[in-house]
Amino acid sequence: METREDAAVPLSFELNGETVAVRAAPAARLLDVLRGPCGRTGTKEGCGEGECGACSVLVDGRVVNACLYAALDVEGCRVTTIEGLHDGAGGPSALQRAFVTLGGTQCGFCTPGMIVAAEALLAANPDPAADDIRGALRGNLCRCTGYVQIVEAVRSAAAARRAGADAARAAAGAPS
Ligand code: FES
Ligand code: FES
Ligand nearest to the CA of 47: 1
Q: What is the pLDDT of residue 173?
A: 78
Average pLDDT over the chain reads: 94
Q: Give the tens place of pLDDT for each residue, 68-93.
A: 999 999 999 999 999 999 998 989 99
DSSP, residue by residue, 33-81: HHHTTT--TTS--SSSSSSS-TTEEEETTEEEETTTSBGGGGTT-EEE-
Architecture of domain 9-84: Roll (3.10)
Domains in the chain: boundaries: 9-84, 94-171
Ligand nearest to the CA of 46: 1
Q: Give the tens place of pLDDT for each residue, 96-145.
A: 999 999 999 999 999 999 999 999 999 999 999 999 999 999 999 999 99
Q: Give the tens place of pLDDT for each residue, 8-47.
A: 999 999 999 999 999 999 999 999 999 999 999 999 999 9
Higher pLDDT, 175 or 37: 37
Give the integer Cα–Cα distance in Å for 111 and 160. Answer: 19
- Tell me, using a 6 A CB cutoff, whether residue 110 lines ligand 2: yes
Shared fold status for 9-84 and 94-171: no
Is the domain covering 94-171 a CATH 3.40.50.300 domain?
Answer: no
